[in-house]
Structure 1
Amino acid sequence: MFSEELKALRRMGFRQALLQALNFCNVIASGLMMWKGLGLLTNTESPIVVVLSGSMEPAFYRGDLLFLTNPVNEPYQVGDITVYKIPGEDIPIVHRVIESHYKVDTPLVQDILTKGDNNKYDDISLYKRMKWLERQHVVGKVRGFLPYVGYVTIAMNDFPQIKYALLGLMGLFALVQRE
């Protein structure tokens, strides 16, 4: 199977190979533009996230794909499930709002305290030097989910060989595709 694809790639002229490579770059750029457009539409830097731990069970399980929005004129309420990011940390956390306090009598300037449904204690110890989360730390509010779809992402992060093999196969098929 792969030998036939490699032979087809060798038969291809330089101009055809260049055209195929440009088409592949166009597909990648289109995907990135759709991701950024979805981010603008939902007002969040990351409109889709994967649950990486069991801290929110039974609401969400590891591998669930979450869809987020970040409402501009809507305060976060107790019970909302949010995704937040601590400054200096790479991985966002999915937890439920358990307390909310407003600053200066405005509903959009608020402090938030969160906790995982499956955790014994609240998240104050996760906040590092902060006592409360501020709105600027919240990536978004969960609006929907697809169960277990995110396991593909988890598998690719746990086993990078899978990720590189899939990327290589996609690149090879994009180069030899004749359409």
Structure 2
Amino acid sequence: MFSEEIATIRRLGVRHLLLQGLNFAMVLSTALMMWKGLSIVTNTESPIVVVLSESMEPAIQRGDLLFLSMPRTAPLALGDITVYKIPGAAIPIVHRVIETHDEKDSNEQWILTKGDNNHADDVGLYNGMRYLRRSHIVGKVQGYVPYVGYVTILMNDYPKLKYALLAVLGGGILLQRE
């Protein structure tokens, strides 16, 4: 069966392989353009994130796919679920706003967060800061889809699975005869 595919590829020639390579590049570039367009519309660098821990249970579960946006002018309010990233930290954190302080003179907002499933606030995660600045906030959660993010978690936990999936998808696109 595999030898038949190789014989078919040889029969189709270089032109067909180049066409399939261009189709593959077009699929990738379309996905990138859609991601960047969504980033502009939602005003956030990461409009979609996956929850990696249980710190927000029962409201948000590990593996949930979150949709984010960042309000351009409206301040964050108590109870908003936000995703924030501390400079130097490896991954963003999804937690709820439990305290805010607004400075009227500088238009700055200081934010304190806490995971629903945690006993203490997040000050220990802030790398010496007492509050987050609004610039640390990646986005505010607007909606979610439960459990869909487990695919991402599995691919990160098992890198060989990720490479196998990419090889199958890439091979499927390149070997497609249309």
Name 2:62's counterpart in structure 1.
Answer: 62
Name 2:129's counterpart in structure 1.
Answer: 130
Q: 1:66 to 1:147 in 2, by over 3 A?
A: same
Q: How much has 1:44 moved relative to structure 2?
A: 0.3
Q: Provide the secondary structure at the position in 2 that maps to 1:66.
A: strand
Q: Which amino acid letter does the alignment assign opposite residue 68 of structure 1?
A: L
Q: Partners in 2 of 1:155 and 1:53 — Cα distance?
A: 13
Name 1:74's counterpart in structure 2.
Answer: 74
1:5-16 matches, within 5 Å, as: 5-16=5-16
Structure 1, unaligned runs of 5 or more: none
Equivalent residue pairs, number: 178
Contact 1:9–1:175 (Cα < 8 Å) also in 2: no
Q: Which amino acid letter does the alignment assign opposite residue 49 of structure 2?
A: V
> Pairwise CA RMSD of aligned residues?
1.4
Q: 1:112 to 1:171 in 2, by over 3 A?
A: same
Q: How much has 1:176 moved relative to structure 2?
A: 1.1
Q: Partners in 2 of 1:3 and 1:114 — Cα distance?
A: 58
Q: Partners in 2 of 1:78 and 1:4 — Cα distance?
A: 63
Q: Provide the secondary structure at the position in 1 that maps to 2:10.
A: helix
After TM superposition, the structure 1 stretch with the greater mean CA deviation from structure 2, 129-138 or 117-126, is: 129-138
Q: Provide the secondary structure at the position in 1 that maps to 2:141.
A: strand
Q: Partners in 1 of 2:26 and 2:108 — Cα distance?
A: 41
Name 1:162's counterpart in structure 2.
Answer: 161
Q: Which runs of 4+ in 1 moved over 6 A?
A: none
Q: Partners in 2 of 1:4 and 1:134 — Cα distance?
A: 60
Name 1:111's counterpart in structure 2.
Answer: 110
Question: Which digits, 9 at most, give the CA deviation of each residue in 1:109-140, with x for residues without a partner?
Answer: 20000000000000000000211100000000
Q: Partners in 1 of 2:3 and 2:54 — Cα distance?
A: 43
Q: 1:142 to 1:10 in 2, by over 3 A?
A: same
1:14-33 matches, within 5 Å, as: 14-33=14-33
Name 2:139's counterpart in structure 1.
Answer: 140
Q: Partners in 1 of 2:12 and 2:127 — Cα distance?
A: 57
Q: 1:3 to 1:50 in 2, by over 3 A?
A: farther
TM-score normalised per structure 2: 0.95
TM-score normalised per structure 1: 0.95
Contact 1:42–1:70 (Cα < 8 Å) also in 2: yes
Name 1:150's counterpart in structure 2.
Answer: 149
